[in-house]
């Protein structure tokens, strides 16, 4: 069996849609039963779906590059799918951040603020609508019978006749053109990427080192308070990073450093989730020693984040030269 | 120079990597301490955070070392690059503020200035690849 990136995308793409349906149902059940515990679990599920949506979006761009120039595929349909996918993916990121924030608040105040859950409910419903649209348009790429008529090679030629892609706003093409043609955007995004990195690593360095016993007199909840700044740093880097990716996807999709960077980001995201919600670190008062498990988790966190810096720096050098 | 040309394939990426990790250590530790002085999470004992300073010094050591190597490789392009001076002046100012903050009770103004100068240093450092002759230096 020859499993390529197209197959990976075709399998993985079900996670955000099916996942959102499951998570939204859980949230509604939690509301109906007034079950606070279930609400928290659901927010955790939203967070993990958001983390997974990043590599799934990337796999879509990789698949796009892999099937480019095939006469039996409509480039216009692919483009429409990509444009909705980009917005759905961005909104999923917002849902993930809002869910994380709710869990962070719940950890600090031992109750989940209503407005955060309401925001997650609203945003995730909107995201589901966009994801469903993305899925439908994605399905039409290989199932033209869904549109009621067969797609032929001559249709492909016709559909692609206007060689200039439609402008519009918030389309992948328009965004890529903006990043490439506006002289300062790429440079400014790089600078933002470095600043976000310092914020993210600075906070997580302090938090993880505390667990490892370095600044032991600091109670863990005091460091926990800084975590939103780490998430802010991550958000800055996700946004600036996606500008690079959308502008030049072929620099990344076949790049082993990028693959490892994404894999590390996913596991590091789960690690931050652990720091946010679990008891074993939260209970650490001034001078308290952490047990073995949190120490292993903290050491892995440091390894992962510096690993992400490593893969990021190696992007233009390992495997592929820009 | 052996760094600029790629007869040693890993020299340039490795120097860049060390420079980037050093950057996260210096600016990361400074951000956490400055934010604490600015009033974010006042439950953190400030004197305890001093235990993070060795990491900052390690980062500074790494970056001075790799910075000098990068400078030697393209000295003429660096000295004619305005962004290089922005970076150096910002780092000098940020370090001066750091020592000033340690000497007396750290003030919020100094903490804010510290964050500002470190961010300027990053902006200057990035701009070096795009301003002046050094624009051809970076393969990024």
DSSP letter for each residue of chain B: -TTTSTTSTTHHHHHHHHHHHHHHHHHHHHHHHHHHHTTSSTTS-HHHHGGGHHHHHHHHHHHHHHHHHHHHHTHHHHHT-HHHHHHHHHHHHHHHHHHHHHHSPPPHHHHHHHHHHHHHHHHHHHHTTTSSGGGGT---
Report the distance separating Cα B48 and Cα B44, nearest Å: 8
Average pLDDT over residues A6-30: 92
pLDDT score of A148 more than 80:
no
Average pLDDT over residues A12-33: 94
Report the distance separating Cα A29 and Cα A121, nearest Å: 12
Q: What's residue A157's pLDDT?
A: 55
The answer to whether A140 and A147 have CB atoms below 8 angstroms apart is yes
Task: Give the minimum alpha-carbon distance from A223 to chain B in angstroms, rounded to a whole number.
Answer: 7
- What does the H/E/C string look like for B63-96? HHHHHHHHHHHCHHHHHCCHHHHHHHHHHHHHHH
Say whether residue A248 is in contact with chain B using an 8 A CB cutoff: no
- Mean residue pLDDT across chain B: 88
Interchain CB distance below 8 Å, B27 and A202: yes
Under the banding of pLDDT at 50, 70 and 90, the label for residue B41 is very high
The answer for residues whose C-beta is within 8 angstroms of residue B56's C-beta and 6 or more apart is B25, B26, B29, B30
- Chain B residues near residue A205 by CB distance under 8 angstroms: 24-25, 28-29, 32, 52, 55
Q: Which of residues A215 and A74 earns the better pLDDT score?
A: A215
Under the banding of pLDDT at 50, 70 and 90, the label for residue A152 is low
Q: What's residue A154's pLDDT?
A: 56
User: In a mutagenesis test of the A interface, which of B23, B121, B122 is the best target, namely the one with the most A β-carbons within 10 Å?
Assistant: B122
The answer to whether B44 and A218 have CB atoms below 8 angstroms apart is yes
Average pLDDT over residues A150-165: 53
The answer to whether B77 and B132 have CB atoms below 8 angstroms apart is yes
Q: What's residue A173's pLDDT?
A: 85
Torsion of CA A225, A229, A235, A238, to 10 degrees: -110
Under the banding of pLDDT at 50, 70 and 90, the label for residue A149 is low
User: In a mutagenesis test of the A interface, which of B9, B25, B31 is the best target, namely the one with the most A β-carbons within 10 Å?
Assistant: B31
Task: Give the minimum alpha-carbon distance from A201 to chain B in angstroms, rounded to a whole number.
Answer: 6
Say whether residue A225 is in contact with chain B using an 8 A CB cutoff: yes
Q: Which of A161, A194, A228 is at the close of a domain?
A: A161
Report the distance separating Cα A39 and Cα A218, nearest Å: 31
Distances (CA, A) of B80 to B5, B18, B83: 21, 25, 9
Q: Are residues A115 and A3 in the same domain?
A: yes
Q: Are residues A189 and A59 in the same domain?
A: no
**Chain A nearest-CA residue for B22:** A198
Interchain CB distance below 8 Å, B51 and A214: yes
Q: Are residues A64 and A183 in the same domain?
A: no
Per-window interface: A 52-81 vs B, CB < 8 A: none
Furthest C-alpha separation in chain B: 52
Number of CB pairs, chain A paired with chain B, less than 8 A apart:
105
Q: Which of residues A242 and A4 earns the better pLDDT score?
A: A242
Distances (CA, A) of B138 to A196, A290, B108: 21, 44, 37
Q: Are residues A42 and A183 in the same domain?
A: no
- What does the H/E/C string look like for A163-181? CCCCCCCCCHHHHHHHHHH
Q: Are residues A81 and A217 in the same domain?
A: no
Say whether residue A309 is in contact with chain B using an 8 A CB cutoff: yes
pLDDT score of A302 more than 50:
yes
Closest CA to A127 of A21, A40, A41: A21
pLDDT score of A163 more than 50:
no
Under the banding of pLDDT at 50, 70 and 90, the label for residue A172 is confident
pLDDT tens across A82-108, in order? 999 999 999 999 999 999 999 999 999
Q: Are residues A9 and A146 in the same domain?
A: yes
Q: Are residues A25 and A89 in the same domain?
A: yes
Task: Give the minimum alpha-carbon distance from B17 to chain A in angstroms, rounded to a whole number.
Answer: 6
pLDDT score of A124 more than 60:
yes
Report the distance separating Cα B126 and Cα B114, nearest Å: 19
Report the distance separating Cα B128 and Cα B78, nearest Å: 8
pLDDT score of B5 more than 50:
no
Under the banding of pLDDT at 50, 70 and 90, the label for residue A254 is confident
Interchain CB distance below 8 Å, B52 and A306: no
pLDDT-wise least confident of A295-309, B80-94, B97-111 = B97-111
Report the distance separating Cα B121 and Cα B60, nearest Å: 13
Query: What interface predicted TM-score (ipTM) does this complex get?
Result: 0.91
Say whether residue B58 is in contact with chain A using an 8 A CB cutoff: no
Q: Which of residues B104 and A163 earns the better pLDDT score?
A: B104
Q: H helices within A143-284, ranges in order?
A: 153-159, 172-181, 183-212, 220-224, 227-247, 256-277, 279-282
Say whether residue B120 is in contact with chain A using an 8 A CB cutoff: no
Report the distance separating Cα A260 and Cα A255, nearest Å: 9
Report the distance separating Cα B53 and Cα A73, nearest Å: 58
Give one word for A34, left, alpha or beta, with left for phi > 0 and alpha for psi -120 to 50. Answer: left
Q: Are residues A297 and A150 in the same domain?
A: no
pLDDT score of A150 more than 70:
no
Q: Which of A142, A161, A180 is at the close of a domain?
A: A161
User: In a mutagenesis test of the A interface, which of B48, B58, B94, B123 is the best target, namely the one with the most A β-carbons within 10 Å?
Assistant: B48
User: In a mutagenesis test of the A interface, which of B37, B126, B127, B130 is the best target, namely the one with the most A β-carbons within 10 Å?
Assistant: B126
Average pLDDT over residues A267-274: 97
Q: What's residue B9's pLDDT?
A: 59
Q: Are residues A21 and A103 in the same domain?
A: yes
Number of domains in chain A: 2
Say whether residue A45 is in contact with chain B using an 8 A CB cutoff: no
Q: Are residues A76 and A122 in the same domain?
A: yes
Under the banding of pLDDT at 50, 70 and 90, the label for residue B2 is very low
Say whether residue A320 is in contact with chain B using an 8 A CB cutoff: no
Per-window interface: B 1-30 vs A, CB < 8 A: 12-13, 16-17, 20-21, 23-25, 27-30
User: In a mutagenesis test of the B interface, which of A215, A301, A304 is the best target, namely the one with the most B β-carbons within 10 Å?
Assistant: A215
Give the SS3 label for residue A110: coil
Give the SS3 label for residue A1: coil
Report the distance separating Cα A246 and Cα A4, nearest Å: 21
The answer for residues whose C-beta is within 8 angstroms of residue B118's C-beta and 6 or more apart is A198, B26, B27, B30, B31, B90, B94
Say whether residue B93 is in contact with chain A using an 8 A CB cutoff: no
Q: Which of residues A150 and A266 earns the better pLDDT score?
A: A266
pLDDT tens across A23-68, in order? 999 999 999 999 999 999 999 999 999 999 999 999 998 888 888 8
Q: What's residue A183's pLDDT?
A: 81
Q: Are residues A1 and A119 in the same domain?
A: yes
Give the SS3 label for residue A278: coil
Interchain CB distance below 8 Å, B32 and A205: yes
Q: Are residues A214 and A153 in the same domain?
A: no
Range of the domain at A247: 167-322
- Chain A residues near residue B45 by CB distance under 8 angstroms: 217-218, 286
Furthest C-alpha separation in chain A: 73
pLDDT tens across B10-33, in order? 688 899 999 999 999 999 999 999
Average pLDDT over residues A193-209: 98
Q: Which of residues B12 and B132 earns the better pLDDT score?
A: B12
Say whether residue B32 is in contact with chain A using an 8 A CB cutoff: yes
Q: Which of A105, A126, A161 is at the close of a domain?
A: A161
Say whether residue A222 is in contact with chain B using an 8 A CB cutoff: yes
| Other CB atoms within 10 A of residue A73 CB | 18
Average pLDDT over residues A202-218: 97
């Amino acid at each position: 069996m020859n499993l390529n990136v197209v197959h990976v995308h075709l399998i993985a793409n079900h996670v955000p849609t099916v996942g959102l349906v499951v998570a939204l149902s859980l949230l509604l059940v939690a509301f109906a039963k007034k079950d606070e515990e279930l609400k928290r679990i659901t927010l955790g599920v939203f967070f993990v779906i958001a983390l997974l949506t990043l590599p799934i979006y990337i796999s879509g761009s990789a698949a796009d590059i892999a099937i480019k120039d095939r006469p039996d595929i409509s480039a216009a349909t692919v483009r429409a799918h990509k444009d909705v996918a980009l917005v759905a993916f961005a909104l999923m990121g917002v849902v993930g951040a809002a869910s994380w924030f709710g869990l962070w608040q719940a950890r600090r105040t031992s109750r989940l603020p209503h407005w955060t859950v309401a925001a997650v409910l609203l945003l995730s419903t909107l995201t589901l609508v966009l994801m469903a649209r993305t899925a439908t348009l994605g399905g039409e790429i290989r199932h033209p019978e869904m549109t009621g008529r067969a797609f032929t090679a001559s249709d492909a030629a016709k559909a692609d006749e206007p060689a200039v892609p439609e402008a519009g706003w918030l389309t992948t093409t328009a965004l890529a053109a903006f990043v490439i043609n506006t002289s300062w955007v790429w440079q400014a995004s790089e600078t933002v990427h470095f600043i976000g990195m310092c914020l993210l690593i600075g906070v997580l360095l302090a938090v993880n080192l505390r667990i490892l016993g370095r600044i032991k007199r600091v109670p863990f909840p005091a460091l926990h308070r800084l975590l939103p700044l780490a998430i802010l740093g991550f958000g800055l880097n996700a946004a600036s990073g996606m500008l690079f990716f959308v502008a030049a996807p072929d620099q990344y999709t076949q790049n082993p450093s990028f693959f490892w960077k994404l894999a590390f980001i996913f596991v590091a995201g789960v690690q931050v989730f652990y720091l946010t919600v679990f008891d074993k670190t939260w209970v650490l008062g001034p001078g308290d020693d952490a047990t073995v498990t949190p120490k292993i988790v903290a050491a892995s966190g440091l390894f992962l984040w510096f690993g992400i810096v490593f893969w990021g720096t190696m992007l233009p050098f390992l495997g592929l030269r820009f | 120079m052996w760094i600029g040309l790629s007869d040693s394939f890993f020299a340039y990426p490795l120097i860049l990597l060390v420079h980037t990790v050093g950057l996260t250590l210096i600016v990361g530790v400074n951000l956490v301490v400055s934010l604490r002085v600015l009033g974010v999470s006042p439950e953190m004992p400030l004197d305890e955070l001093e235990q993070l300073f060795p990491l900052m010094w390690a980062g500074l050591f790494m970056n001075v070392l790799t910075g000098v190597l990068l400078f030697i490789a393209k000295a003429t392009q660096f000295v004619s690059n305005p962004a290089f001076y922005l970076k150096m002046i910002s780092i000098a100012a940020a370090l001066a503020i750091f020592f000033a903050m340690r000497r007396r009770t750290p003030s919020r103004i100094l903490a804010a200035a510290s964050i500002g100068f470190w961010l300027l240093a990053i902006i200057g450092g990035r701009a070096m690849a795009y301003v002046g002759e050094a624009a051809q230096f970076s393969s990024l």
